[in-house]
A and B are shown apart, each in its own frame.
Chain A
Amino acid sequence: MLSVALRHAFAGFTLDAAFQAPAGLTALFGRSGSGKTTIVNAVAGLLRPQSGRVTVQDIVLTDSDRGIFLPPHRRGIGYVFQDARLFPHLTVRQNLLYGHWFTARGRPSDLPRVVEMLGIGPLLTRRPAALSGGERQRVAIGRALLSHPRLLLMDEPLAALDQPRKDEILPYLERLRDQAGLPILYVSHSTAEVARLATTVVLLDRGRVTAAGPVAALLSDPAVAPLLGLAEAGAVLTARVEAHECDGLTRLAAPAGPLFLPRIAAPIGALLRLRILAQDVMIATVPPQGISALNVIPARVRDLSPAGDSVLVRLEAGDQVILSRITARSAAALDLRPGLPVHAVLKAVSVAPGTIGVSGG
């Protein structure tokens, strides 16, 4: 558990943020200039905050009241920077083992495990200049892991990469979240990344925390939607692969009911994280008939919140929440009100490709 409370004034900008990051991946989410990197640097000890307190697993890293400020090298915190920052004069192998010299916790036998997890075996003898952007970032992640940190910081590790390179790294990040068992603080300004990776989300705006909580609750919270951008609002569900059917569809079991999606390359029994954008969910008050949509889920209206010209409707299905964004006119015509049983028609469901493992806390 990471606990952060910071105050730091810059010219024209004051950071005043407090939050807790439980196990799993905590995403610091916000526009550029919202103070995400400042927070991460303060946690790493690269920035000394004017006042504040940072603790990891009950170890005090910073406490301005007691005059405690541990230098970065004594914090035991791994930091993956946006620009990998590999040492150009060392080989990949030497880069990976750099932190090893300074830690009492690590064993050399961890190298093969980390190399295997990140798929960087063939790169070990190369120099950073001979690596692609995606390879560099994977080596940087491995280097941070092999310093045996108590906490991993990642400052937009994918921002400098194009989409294919991102897709190459995302599965490794998911594995890291699910297997490495260390808390991760992850800076991002991409909702898709947050929906796919985060366990907990901390929303930042101009140096302040505007919302924080588990990813599924937060992303489907109508009050948060305007902060994310309406087009990005939507629910995150967890589902299990049940069967690959002969007509090319994969059947998933979600608490809300069965879902059918075009064939997913995941073994039966795998847990997947699904993202359903609010604008892709239609509402019907009677069971829709003669409709091409495969995924129609019985649900109940929890509440309605106006958002600009549209209305965000929170639907309960099983113990999960689905968010739907409809026009105010439709909401009035259907006479939607809390408690009303309805049918949610899902026009699109996106699956994080290769999302295997336990997701979401």
Chain B
Amino acid sequence: MTDWLTPEAWQAVRLSLEVSLWAVAASLPLGILVAYALARWRFPGHGLLNGLVHLPLVLPPVVTGYLLLLTFGRRGWVGQWLDQIGIVFAFRWTGAALAAAIMAFPLMVRAIRLAIEAVDPRLEQAASTLGAPRLWVFLTVTLPLILPGILAGAILAFAKAMGEFGATITFVSNIPGQTQTLPSAIYAFLQVPGGEAAAARLVLIAVAVAMAALFLSEWLSRLIARRIRGA
């Protein structure tokens, strides 16, 4: 295996997996909350929140990356403040995870929101008449019913995070071992003569991961439908 992939390429694959896992794990609670708010609550700014969540989907990734740099860079208005408590995003793998999380967020929220909208709110009403406080209703009724949707959203977001390139390279650059993810590595290999073979191997890995994620996500969303019908 080590012959098939150079240590540098392996590093990029491993970093990508780590970055994507962290991106999904850290953004999942917020993703569930935002999906729930969009699906169930009516509040002023509902449309604005929906727009903000979906913005990374339509914005050029380079713009998202640049905005991240402005905000979370060492001299950015949030980054400056975070720097003082020891959290640094700029040119670190954590920054790659942040960029990946933001780019994958719309996909995650969409999948979870669809699952929440498929849950009959009358079941939640029934739970509350049985004495369950709101949070318990969510934990014991809503959450189990949307679990397949959450998993589907997380897998989709993971696949998207694996493939994130534009925002990442703009925000945290392309430092081998630090911020060089799988797509950045492919890009780097293509910039040097004779790098096509190594690039092609990485491309195969990227395609395999993406396909596996799509299949898994599709299978899970079919599972939700069955679960909510109660079979």
Q: Give A residues with C-beta under 8 Å from B.
A: 44-46, 71-79, 81, 83, 85, 87-89, 98-99, 101-103, 127-129, 143-144, 147
Contact = CB atoms under 8 A, between A and B. Distances in A.
B132 interface: yes
Given A73-B131, A102-B131, A103-B131, A81 B122 contact: yes
Contacts of B140: 98
Nearest to B227: A89
Contact of A102 (B126, B130, B145): B130
A116 to B, nearest CB: 21
Interface string B134-147: 10110011001100
Contacts of B125: 46, 72, 85
6 contacts: A73-B131, A85-B120, A88-B227, A88-B230, A99-B132, A147-B129
Contact of B131 (A88, A89, A129, A147): A147
B229 interface: yes
A102 B129 CA distance: 11
Q: Looking at A45, A72, A99, which has the most chain B CB atoms within 10 Å of its CB?
A: A72
Contacts of A78: 129-130
Contacts of B129: 44-46, 72-73, 75, 77-79, 144, 147
B154 to A, nearest CB: 19
Contact of A143 (B130, B133, B141): B130
Nearest to A83: B122
Contacts of B137: 73
Interface of B: 120, 122-123, 125-134, 136-137, 140-141, 144-145, 227-231
A98 B230 contact: no
Contacts of B126: 79, 81, 85, 87
B141 A73 contact: no
Contacts of B130: 73, 78, 98-99, 102, 143-144, 147
Nearest to A71: B128
B223 to A, nearest CB: 12
Contacts, number: 74
Nearest to A94: B140
A221 B231 CA distance: 49
Contacts of A75: 129
Contact of A88 (B122, B127, B136, B145): B145
A73 B133 contact: yes
Contacts of B120: 85
Nearest to B123: A85
B188 to A, nearest CB: 48
Nearest to B231: A129
Contacts of B227: 88-89
B226 to A, nearest CB: 10
A127 B226 CA distance: 13
Contact of B136 (A79, A87, A102): A102
Contacts of B128: 46, 71-73
A98 B229 contact: no
Q: Looking at A102, A127, A143, which has the most chain B CB atoms within 10 Å of its CB?
A: A102
Q: Looking at A79, A85, A129, which has the most chain B CB atoms within 10 Å of its CB?
A: A85
B230 A127 contact: yes
Contacts of A81: 122, 126
A51 B125 CA distance: 22
A144 B127 CA distance: 10
A76 B131 contact: yes
A73 B133 CA distance: 6
B135 to A, nearest CB: 10
A71 B227 CA distance: 29
Given A46-B129, A88-B123, 15 more contacts: A73-B129, A73-B132, A73-B133, A75-B129, A81-B122, A85-B120, A85-B123, A85-B125, A98-B130, A98-B140, A99-B132, A102-B133, A103-B131, A128-B230, A147-B130
B181 to A, nearest CB: 38
Contacts of B230: 88-89, 127-129
Instruction: Report the 8 A-B pairs with minimum CB-CB distance, sorted nearest first.
Output: A88-B230, A102-B131, A99-B130, A129-B230, A79-B129, A85-B126, A72-B128, A147-B130
B132 A101 contact: yes
Nearest to A41: B125
Contacts of B229: 88, 129
Contacts of A98: 127, 130, 132, 140
Q: Looking at B122, B131, B145, which has the most chain A CB atoms within 10 Å of its CB?
A: B131
A85 B129 CA distance: 12
A358 B164 CA distance: 73
